[in-house]
Structure 1
Amino acid sequence: MAKVLCVLYDDPVSGHPASYARDDLPHIASYPGGQTLPTPRGIDFTPGQLLGSVSGELGLRRFLEDQGHTLVVTSDKDGPDSVFERELPDADIVISQPFWPAYLTAERIERASRLKLAITAGIGSDHVDLDAAIRHGVTVAEVTYCNSISVAEHVVMMILSLVRNYLPAHQIVRDGGWNIADAVARSYDLEGMHVGSVAAGRIGLAVLRRLAPFDVHLHYTDRHRLPAEVEQELGLTFHPSAEDMVPACDVVTINAPLHPETEGLFGDRLLATMKRGSYLINTARARIADRDAVVRALESGRLAGYAGDVWFPQPAPADHPWRTMPHHGMTPHISGSSLSAQARYAAGTREILESWFAGSAIREEYLIVDGGKLAGTGAHSYSTSGPQA
């Protein structure tokens, strides 16, 4: 029998919801491109309810305990005395979320002698040291596409919020004011702007598709160029690198995974090549941008705004400079954890576990590391810092 260690974010301050704003979720037949939604043999939760926090347990407890497995759920993940640190050495499976990541460092994987499977309940497994997982034969899987559209919607919301100066204008109303000149002094139309995406995978392409009706000029860069018919359909301009693309853009949105090639990409040097008064949106990973370089770019006016929901570390400390820098639209890491997305990534997590316990193959698109090498989606999206074992 397996010990499953699951790290989830805390419950609401007021306690688990007694009721919800909506009674159901819309039916979605498939993801764009035809990939099916998660198909577990069963679920023990109500879609549309809060599953991603500690009390929600991703709806897994009955399923696991009925089979004799042990489930440990905690939000306490940081420091040598955390529950995660104490429970990890004899855990067979670790489940974590990008929104509240339990960082599986090389040192932790070394100590977790029984660890065989690391599941990301969501998308983005960079909180797992993939090189160490490869060396130690740990399978890494995530619920591909489960919240890609959720994040894409969040990106579009943030672009409009920054360009139209929505958040300061809303605050004027909350404060009892009616200061129109103050609200519009930094407000522009998105129409006609040049918008570029760093990466055009599932999220990046979904962002580009949603922006096309705004009559903007669309740009992208990616290690895998899109088919010519997609470029023609959306009017996309391809650039071989971010360095080539960003000087042409009024808005840049980062939709790339974090790996050695993207870490620190948006530092002082690249930010200096962006148009004065441009906007940068990052719902990918915080370390793709240099923390202090972003602050300097906002203070100098090089950037007119920065928005995102990814931080390092997560949760961000109270004195993190992104909390107080000018002209920002930061949120905690929520873009991919809507109640709609939670139903999909909880179901996908169960599907992965069902396959694992049955000894059957995990969906290829869910795999990041398998058999001592990058696999499936991991082979397409990630790179490692050294040779694969």
Structure 2
Amino acid sequence: MAKVLCVLYDDPTDGYPTAYARDGLPRIESYPDGQSAPASRGVGFTPGHLLGSVSGELGLRAFLESRGHTLVVTSDKEGDGSVFDRELVDADVVISQPFWPAYLTAERITAAKNLKLAVTAGIGSDHVDLEAAITHGVTVAEVTYSNSISVAEHVVMMTLSLVRNYFPSHRVVLDGGWNVADCVARSYDLEGMHVGTVAAGRIGIAVLRRLAPFDVKLHYTDRRRLPSAIEEELGLVFHESAADMVPHCDVVTINAPLHTETEHLFDEKLLATMKRGTYLINTARAKIVDQEAVQHALESGRLAGYAGDVWYPQPAPADHPWRSMPHHGMTPHISGSSLSAQARYATGTREILESWFDGIPIRDEYLIVAGGALAGTGAHSYAVNPATAES
């Protein structure tokens, strides 16, 4: 029997919900590219309930314990003697979320002698040292596409919020004010702007499709060029690199995975090439940008705004400089953890575990590392040497 260690974020400050704003969720059976949505053989939760926090347990306890496995759930993952480190020593499976990552470093993987499977409940497995996972024969899987549309919607929301100066305007209302000039002095229309995405995978292309009706000029860069039919449909302009693309854009959104090729891609040098007053949106990973370079670009006016929900480290400390930098629209890492997304990635996590325990191959699109090498989605999304300082 296996020991499954699950690291989730804390319950709401006022306790686990007893009621919800809505009574259910729309049924999503497949994604835009035709991939079927997660489909486990059983469901141990109510769709639309909070599953990503400790009490939600991803709906896994009854399923695992009915098969004789042990489930340990914790949010304590930092510092010497954390529950995560204590329980990891003899864990067979580790489950973590990118929103509250339990960093599986090379040292931790080496110490976890029984570890055979690391599952990301969501997408993005850079909190796992993939090189170490390859070396130690640990399979890494994630619920690919489960929250891609959720993140894409968040990108669109943040883009409009920055361009239209929504956050400061809402603050005026909360503070009892009504000075229109204060609200509109930094407010523009998105219409006619040039918007570019760094990477045009599932999230990037979803962002482009959702922004196209705003009558913007769309740009993208990616290691693989999109089919000409998609370029023509959306009027896309392809650029060989981010350095080639960003000088042409008024809005840049980052939708790339973190690896050695993208770490600190947006540094002082690249930011200096952008138009004065560009908006930068980053819901991918914090270390794709240089933290201090972003602060300086906002202070100098090179960037008109920066928004995203990815930080380093996560959770961000109370004195993190991004909390107080000017003209930002940061949120905690929530873009891919809506209640809608949670139902999908919880189902996908159970689907992966069902396959693993029953000796059935895990879906190729869920695989990041398998058989001592990058595999499935991992082979397409990550560089040969995937480990970064964040992992």
Cα displacement (A) at 1:266: 0.4
**Structure 2 unaligned blocks of 5 or more:** none
Cα displacement (A) at 1:81: 1.2
Deviations 1:225-280 (A, max 9, x none): 10000000000000000000000000000000000000000010000000000000
- How many equivalent pairs are there? 387
Aligned-pair Cα RMSD in Å: 0.8
- Aligned partner letter, 1:132: A
2:213 corresponding residue in structure 1:
213
Deviations 1:300-331 (A, max 9, x none): 00000000000001000111110000000000
- Aligned partner letter, 1:172: V
Deviations 1:116-169 (A, max 9, x none): 000000000000000000000000000000000000000000000000000000
* 3-state SS of 1:150 partner: helix
Q: 2: distance between equivalents of 1:139 and 1:25?
A: 32
Aligned pairs (5 A) from 1:249-288? 249-288=249-288
1:310 corresponding residue in structure 2:
310
Cα displacement (A) at 1:386: 7.7
- Aligned partner letter, 2:261: E
2:321 corresponding residue in structure 1:
321
**Structure 1 unaligned blocks of 5 or more:** none
* 3-state SS of 1:296 partner: helix
Aligned pairs (5 A) from 1:126-145? 126-145=126-145
* 3-state SS of 2:89 partner: helix
Q: 1: distance between equivalents of 2:386 and 2:344?
A: 33
User: TM-score by structure 1 length?
Assistant: 0.99
2:380 corresponding residue in structure 1:
380
1:297 corresponding residue in structure 2:
297
Q: Cα gap change, 1:262/1:285 in structure 2, threshold over 3 Å: closer, same or farther?
A: same
2:344 corresponding residue in structure 1:
344
- Aligned partner letter, 1:202: R
Asked whether 1:101 is paired with 2:113, we answer no
* 3-state SS of 1:317 partner: coil
2:188 corresponding residue in structure 1:
188
Among all aligned residue pairs of Structure 1 and Structure 2, give the percentage whose two residues are the same amino acid: 80
Deviations 1:47-96 (A, max 9, x none): 00000000000000000001110000000001121100110010000000
1:157 corresponding residue in structure 2:
157
Asked whether 1:86 is paired with 2:86, we answer yes
Contact 1:259–1:384 at 8 Å: present in 2 too? no
Cα displacement (A) at 1:29: 2.5
Q: 2: distance between equivalents of 1:225 and 1:54?
A: 41
1:231 corresponding residue in structure 2:
231
Deviations 1:162-191 (A, max 9, x none): 000000000001100001000000000000
Q: 2: distance between equivalents of 1:169 and 1:71?
A: 46
Q: 2: distance between equivalents of 1:79 and 1:147?
A: 29
* 3-state SS of 1:99 partner: coil
Contact 1:130–1:384 at 8 Å: present in 2 too? no
1:28 corresponding residue in structure 2:
28
Asked whether 1:110 is paired with 2:141, we answer no
2:46 corresponding residue in structure 1:
46
Contact 2:4–2:69 at 8 Å: present in 1 too? yes
Contact 1:156–1:211 at 8 Å: present in 2 too? yes
Contact 2:260–2:386 at 8 Å: present in 1 too? no
Q: Cα gap change, 1:213/1:16 in structure 2, threshold over 3 Å: closer, same or farther?
A: same
* 3-state SS of 1:90 partner: coil
Aligned pairs (5 A) from 1:47-86? 47-86=47-86
Q: 1: distance between equivalents of 2:141 and 2:384?
A: 16
User: TM-score by structure 2 length?
Assistant: 0.98
1:367 corresponding residue in structure 2:
367
After superposing the two structures, state which structure 1 stretch, 377-386 or 59-68, moved more. Answer: 377-386
Cα displacement (A) at 1:384: 3.3
Q: 1: distance between equivalents of 2:163 and 2:148?
A: 23
Q: 1: distance between equivalents of 2:114 and 2:267?
A: 39
* 3-state SS of 1:368 partner: strand
- Aligned partner letter, 1:65: E
* 3-state SS of 2:269 partner: helix
- Aligned partner letter, 2:360: S
* 3-state SS of 1:71 partner: strand
Q: 1: distance between equivalents of 2:271 and 2:80?
A: 37
